[in-house]
Chain A
Amino acid sequence: MIRPLVIAVIAAIAVPSGFLWLAGKPPLATWGALLAYTLGTWNGFSDVLVHAIPLTLIGIGVAVAFRAEIFNVGGDGQLICGAVLAVALAPMFGALGWTALLLFLFTGAIGGGALGGLVGWLRARFGANEIIVTIMMNYVALQLLTWVIRGPLQDPMRIFPRSYELPVAMQLPIIAAGTRLHAGLILALLAAGVMQIVMSRMAFGFRLAVLGENANAASYAGISVGRTTVTAMVLSGGFAGLAGAVEIAGVHLRLQDNFAAGFGLEAIAVALMAKLHPIAIPITALLFGIFFVGSSALQRQMSVPFPLVWIIEGVVILAFLGFGAAAARRAIRTI
């Protein structure tokens, strides 16, 4: 067990280091700067937390679907769908006081859940491969976003391609003065706890796991494969949609181009490294928050190209995957 772990960790550090060296940056000093900013400054660390909030929420959704072997790669599209629906309906919640915020977030979950559910239905009813369908939906949703902020949902001033600013009643409060850290953090941690119980202690979690292990066994056991698939995707998309509403209510306060690009693939890595256990997802989300915020800091401070973050992420996923596979092979050999 130790040898594959050591190899995985070394590879995950060595490969991005090689690219840093290629970029003419001293790897050790660069990693030092990354850690110093993300873990050593309050500004950096609070931004890491802010980034980890949507990653946690989407990651939980990914875990729900992946547990049933449904590969939801559509986090980005479902996030956009949730955010757009929430912003579109927000004017109706205006007079409701503090419940408006809850309704806003719930509407986001509905938007994402509806898109997720549609994909689940297409898979259950027609056997359409959900990986391709969710990815295609991401591009469709992106076009929808670019349209609504130039069309029906554009700010009444009609100068910039963005929506109106969310009224204060529907904004998530900042929980640490002087930072961008908002109450979405509490929501994300709560969601991780609740979903851990659902997945490990409740019948639904069991159905997901059986479906993931063997769809035939699931239907023999009286589990409706179609209904479980659709429910899993509604939940999965719902968490992504919730993340979208949280990003609007907590960070951006309005829809704009690329307001939350690229969370989807990151969230998959987050969920996989947490071994699909919701309770572990906030921790792995923190790790990827460090990569992301750290890479943008390196770009600003040392002009290291930002795409380094994807090299790190890709290598980390592969290292983790290789470690898991090597451990599994070892287990077979020792039986």
Chain B
Amino acid sequence: MDALLLAGLLAAGVRLAMSIGIAALGEMVGQRSGVLNVGVEGIMLLGAFLAALGAVSTGSPWAGLALACLGGLLLGALHGWFAIVLRADQIVSGIAIVVLGLGLSSFLFRLTMGKAPSALPAFRALDMGALSKLPIVGPVLFGQNILAYLTVVAALSLWFVMSRTPLGLAIRACGENPEAAEADGINVNAVRFGCVLFGGAMAGMGGAYLAIAQINSFVENMVVGRGFIAIACVVFGRWHPLGTLAAAVGFGLTEAAQIRLQIWYPDVPYQFFVMLPYLLAIGALVFMARTAALPRAIGRAFVSDRSL
């Protein structure tokens, strides 16, 4: 393959990976604390819409990102309230969040921006001068938008926090053995709520990335399964921040590759290429599931002795 094509493929792969990666990092933290949130898809949708709305009404993509973060926090809090405080079934609550996010984003979109679609102020690829012009590594490593770099920073920080700090230890304890964590003086449900809020905010920003850094517009139901792929990335990355991000990059590359394959092989129905990332997610789950180290207390509500 020639170098220019390769550079294009890799650069696009990294760019397409980040919305999934941001959401997956948040979901990873929530799951490690013991709370499964299958509602990522819905939160990403709301985030994508709010980002578009915020960016258009203020002219700044940063405002869009902040608004999406806020919306993600709200839906995260809703899930946390049901899963942690009410101790309701986490999977059902997550499914409700998916439906609600779809409804809120599409309904509010039609009320506000639906009639007159406008160009979105978006995050552009940074120009790092000579670095960006290097062959292959230039566009891949030095030609991304600011959010892509922040995502890598976030993954590295999460790695440090989760494996090297008391907070990370507390989070992991809540997901592995909440009874022991409580005996150690950790307020399990408070830690879990914090992690679910973080996951919600990240999912909201993952959706924002899609709307104002990748596709640069809002379309109803535009997330098309990326929220669920993000959950698969957490499994594929074995609940490790860097593994999770690497898995997301794998999906980004597949997505970038399938778009190019559609053009190179016009005789093959394009639908088969569109299927590829989804089939990859299934394959990843099948190959990883047995060896996966699922947090032991995941999905199980914790009844604190304090509340009795």
Binding site for B on A (CB under 8 A): 19, 22-23, 71, 73, 122, 126-129, 131-133, 135-140, 143-144, 146-147, 150-151, 265, 268-269, 272, 305, 307-315, 317-318, 321-322, 324-326, 328-329
Pick the contact of A136 from B88, B92, B228, B272 — CB < 8 Å?
A: B228
Pick the contact of A308 from B103, B272, B275, B282 — CB < 8 Å?
A: B103
B interface majority secondary structure = helix
* Alpha-carbon distance between A138 and B224 when the two chains are bound, in angstroms: 10
Among B64-72, B170-178, B204-212, B284-292, the one that faces the other chain is B284-292
Do A133 and B96 touch (CB < 8 A)? no
Do B286 and A126 touch (CB < 8 A)? yes
Pick the contact of A144 from B97, B271, B289, B290 — CB < 8 Å?
A: B271
* Contact partners of A312 in chain B: CB under 8 A: 103
- Known pairs A122-B286, A272-B92, A307-B220; A143 contacts B271 (CB<8 A): yes
A-B pair count, CB < 8 Å, reads 146
* Contact partners of B99 in chain A: CB under 8 A: 265, 269, 310, 313-314, 317
- Known pairs A129-B289, A307-B103, A325-B87; A147 contacts B82 (CB<8 A): no
Pick the contact of A318 from B87, B96, B102, B269 — CB < 8 Å?
A: B96
* Contact partners of B275 in chain A: CB under 8 A: 139-140, 143-144
The 5 closest A-B pairs by CB, nearest first: A310-B103, A314-B100, A307-B106, A311-B103, A325-B88
* Contact partners of A325 in chain B: CB under 8 A: 82, 86-89
* Contact partners of A136 in chain B: CB under 8 A: 225, 228-229, 232, 278-279, 281-282
* Contact partners of B95 in chain A: CB under 8 A: 73, 265, 268-269, 317
B297 part of interface (Cβ distance < 8 Å):
no
B63 part of interface (Cβ distance < 8 Å):
no
Q: List 20 A-B contacts (CB under 8 A).
A: A23-B111, A122-B285, A126-B285, A128-B285, A136-B229, A136-B279, A140-B279, A143-B275, A144-B275, A269-B96, A307-B110, A307-B220, A310-B102, A314-B96, A314-B99, A314-B102, A317-B92, A325-B82, A328-B87, A329-B87
B78 part of interface (Cβ distance < 8 Å):
yes
* Alpha-carbon distance between A313 and B95 when the two chains are bound, in angstroms: 11
Pick the contact of A307 from B86, B102, B274, B289 — CB < 8 Å?
A: B102
* Alpha-carbon distance between A150 and B268 when the two chains are bound, in angstroms: 12
* Alpha-carbon distance between A325 and B211 when the two chains are bound, in angstroms: 36
Known: A321-B92, A324-B88. 19 other contacts (CB 8 A): A73-B95, A129-B285, A131-B228, A132-B231, A132-B282, A135-B225, A138-B225, A139-B224, A144-B275, A265-B98, A272-B92, A305-B107, A307-B105, A311-B107, A312-B103, A317-B96, A318-B82, A322-B86, A322-B88
Binding site for A on B (CB under 8 A): 38, 42, 78, 82, 86-89, 91-93, 95-107, 110-111, 114, 220, 224-225, 228-229, 231-232, 235, 269, 271-272, 274-275, 278-279, 281-282, 285-287, 289-290, 292
- Known pairs A143-B272, A265-B99, A308-B107; A133 contacts B82 (CB<8 A): no
Do B111 and A305 touch (CB < 8 A)? yes
* Alpha-carbon distance between A151 and B271 when the two chains are bound, in angstroms: 11
* Alpha-carbon distance between A324 and B231 when the two chains are bound, in angstroms: 27
* Contact partners of A146 in chain B: CB under 8 A: 271
Do A318 and B107 touch (CB < 8 A)? no
* Contact partners of A268 in chain B: CB under 8 A: 95
Do A314 and B97 touch (CB < 8 A)? yes
A interface majority secondary structure = helix
* Contact partners of A122 in chain B: CB under 8 A: 282, 285-286
The closest CB in chain B to the CB of A272 belongs to B92
The closest CB in chain B to the CB of A332 belongs to B303
Do A139 and B269 touch (CB < 8 A)? no
The closest CB in chain B to the CB of A119 belongs to B282
Name the distance in Å between A246's Cβ and chain B's nearest Cβ.
Answer: 24
* Alpha-carbon distance between A167 and B111 when the two chains are bound, in angstroms: 43
* Contact partners of A265 in chain B: CB under 8 A: 95, 98-99
Pick the contact of A310 from B106, B224, B228, B281 — CB < 8 Å?
A: B106
* Alpha-carbon distance between A150 and B107 when the two chains are bound, in angstroms: 31
Do B286 and A307 touch (CB < 8 A)? no
The closest CB in chain A to the CB of B78 belongs to A318
Name the distance in Å between A211's Cβ and chain B's nearest Cβ.
Answer: 16
Pick the contact of A132 from B100, B103, B285 — CB < 8 Å?
A: B285
* Contact partners of B225 in chain A: CB under 8 A: 135-136, 138-139
* Contact partners of A317 in chain B: CB under 8 A: 92, 95-96, 99
* Contact partners of A305 in chain B: CB under 8 A: 106-107, 110-111, 114
* Alpha-carbon distance between A272 and B223 when the two chains are bound, in angstroms: 26
* Alpha-carbon distance between A135 and B281 when the two chains are bound, in angstroms: 10
The closest CB in chain B to the CB of A319 belongs to B96
* Alpha-carbon distance between A199 and B257 when the two chains are bound, in angstroms: 47
- Known pairs A23-B111, A136-B225, A265-B98; A321 contacts B89 (CB<8 A): yes
* Contact partners of A151 in chain B: CB under 8 A: 269
* Contact partners of A147 in chain B: CB under 8 A: 269, 271-272
The closest CB in chain A to the CB of B114 belongs to A305
Name the distance in Å between A61's Cβ and chain B's nearest Cβ.
Answer: 16
Name the distance in Å between B237's Cβ and chain A's nearest Cβ.
Answer: 14
Do A132 and B286 touch (CB < 8 A)? no
* Contact partners of A126 in chain B: CB under 8 A: 285-287, 289-290
* Alpha-carbon distance between A128 and B285 when the two chains are bound, in angstroms: 5
The closest CB in chain B to the CB of A307 belongs to B106
* Alpha-carbon distance between A317 and B292 when the two chains are bound, in angstroms: 31
Do B100 and A310 touch (CB < 8 A)? yes
* Contact partners of A313 in chain B: CB under 8 A: 99, 103
* Alpha-carbon distance between A144 and B110 when the two chains are bound, in angstroms: 30
